[in-house]
Amino acid sequence: MVLAKFAEIKQFILAKVESGEWQENHRVPSENQLTDLFACSRMTARRALTELVEAGVLTRTQGLGTFVAGLKSQSSLLSIRNIADEIKERGHGYSVELLEQTEIIAIAPIAIALGLEIGAKVSYSLIVHCEQSVPLQMEERFVNPELIPDYLAQDFSEQTPHEYLSKVAPLTEARHTVEAVIPSEQVQQHLQIEATEPCLQVLRRTWSRQGVVSFARLVHPGSKFRLGGHLTFKR
């Protein structure tokens, strides 16, 4: 199968980065250089670079050029994205470990977050998302069964909870709380990290038109993950 030119350029850059030939802060070829190298249009070269910048593989500085980004995986704080898609966009392998998927009784903080009565039944899942077989995120999710009755019947090795929920209850609102935390023994075990490894924790509530859909706790090893975003202000 013949790759599209922009995909060929992306594959070329990813191979250089993953082999270690191009280290962090290495300047990658410019759009003009890539245009000559791959006999393509400048628009095609720009698309390849832009997609790798958006995936966190490269970083661009106006007037200086495009460089290999830091080795930490990056997710946007300003958008809700599927972690499997983010990993695949970096050209890496995605895998998942489903640890628990069951019905639980909601204690006060969970019930309040979901807008339910204390003691109500809630759908619960505990999943570890991996990049290149290395744990990147522990996802603990509580779902309102009144709005999503079939949550526990899903196979989350085939699609992520975020992907499923986006299909059956499109998001209309989300709120984040981000903080640095010391990992509990459970987190250390699931993310395969030491007790001294700081972690980044994201608490996220999501709404659909019908009400609060889910409350999730997302925990990432601090050495492998960062959050970022870009804002454009109009006059």
Tell me the Ramachandran region of residue 151: left when phi exceeds 0, alpha when psi lies from -120 to 50, beta otherwise: alpha
* CB neighbour list of residue 63: distance below 8 Å, 6 or more residues apart: none
Dump pLDDT digits (tens) for 167-212: 998 888 888 888 899 999 999 999 999 999 999 998 999 988 888 9
- Which pLDDT value is given to residue 70? 67
**Cβ contact 44:8 at 8 Å:** no
Question: What residue numbers bound the domain in which 134 lies?
Answer: 73-225
Structural tokens at position 125: 């899942």
Q: Within this chain, do residues 142 and 55 fall inside the same structural domain, yes or no?
A: no
Name the pLDDT band for 229 (thresholds 50, 70, 90): low
Q: Is the pLDDT of residue 3 over 80?
A: no
pLDDT digits (tens, 9 = 90+) for 33-77: 999 999 999 999 999 999 888 777 888 877 788 988 865 554 555
CATH number at residue 198: 3.40.1410.10
Is 232 inside any structural domain?
no
The verdict on 152 and 165 lying in the same domain is yes
3 state DSSP class of 121? strand
- The pLDDT tens digits for 6-28 are 889 988 998 888 777 888 888 99
Binned at pLDDT 50, 70 and 90, residue 78 comes out as: very low
Confidence (pTM): 0.67
Quick one: tokens of 201? 């924790």
Per-residue pLDDT at 92:
86
- Which of 68, 92, 114 is where one domain is finished? 68
Among 7, 98, 22, 102, CA closest to 55: 7
Residue 81 reports pLDDT greater than 50: yes
Q: Indicate the average pLDDT of the chain.
A: 86
Q: Are residues 25 and 82 in the same domain?
A: no
pLDDT in tens, 115-167: 889 999 999 999 999 999 999 999 999 999 999 999 999 999 999 999 999 89
Residue 235 included in any domain: no
Q: Are residues 87 and 63 in the same domain?
A: no
